[in-house]
Amino acid sequence: MRAKLSVLIPAYNPGKWFRGVMDQLKAQIEKYPDTEILVVDDGSTEDLSWVADYPNTTYIRQENAGVADARNLLLEKAKGKYIQFLDADDEIYPNCLDLIYENIAGGYDYITYEFDTDHNRLRSYHNHGQLLYNCALWGYTFKRSITKGQKFDSSKTPECDVDWLLRVLKPDAKMKHEDRLFYNYRWDGNVNSLSHRRLRGEI
């Protein structure tokens, strides 16, 4: 059976929180068995091979090439009609797949979401005009067909995600903004996150 949803997770030394993400997906996937989970390990020094033991999960390890290349490989391997990016070092709530599946039933090209940061609600807001609600990929569910041919540009790191979003989101797309929450972005104490590494000038 073709997957309805591909959950795409690039991972680079995500630390202690990644197992929580995978455990939460495992608990929810029993209700949605036509979900595939793809994890690209971007040359972590941590051993992440344990994720292959989770249901419906494909684990791929590559030499460290950066998040753009990891995401491109995830897009190449995805088979679902819809795709959802997650970050390995954040947190998803127990309603994550419920909310995604409820929304994709509407046939939207993409859905945008509200989110928590350290369990404090932040409202998504428009960036770059009327299309971009949120600069984070995990704030969207995409119909895979609208992403066809669009690759992440590694030369634009650390802004490759925004560059990609501005090419994928079209003004004539059928979209919905969902104000219910399923995602918590970890900031405090998450020193290995991409955002913290940007601020330290490491990327």
Report for 103-112, 115-124, 159-168: range of highest mean pLDDT = 103-112
> What are 56's two structure tokens?
């419906």
Mean pLDDT of all residues in 136-147: 95
pTM: 0.89
The model's pLDDT over 8-55, given as tens digits with 9 standing for 90+, comes to 999 999 999 999 999 999 999 999 999 999 999 999 999 999 999 999
203 pLDDT band (50/70/90 cuts)? Answer: very low
pLDDT of residue 6: 98
Q: Which domains does the chain carry? A: 5-199 (3.90.550.10)
pLDDT of residue 193: 47
Query: SS3 for 86?
Result: coil
Output the average pLDDT for the chain: 88
DSSP secondary structure code for residue 178 in this structure: E
pLDDT of residue 200: 31
**Parallel/antiparallel/unpaired status of strands 140-143 and 82-85:** antiparallel
Instruction: Output the CA torsion 184→189→195→197 (10° steps).
Output: -150
pLDDT of residue 124: 61
The packing angle between helices 67-77 and 160-168, to 10°, is 40
Q: Is residue 168 predicted with pLDDT exceeding 50?
A: yes
117 or 81, which is more confident: 81
pLDDT of residue 21: 97
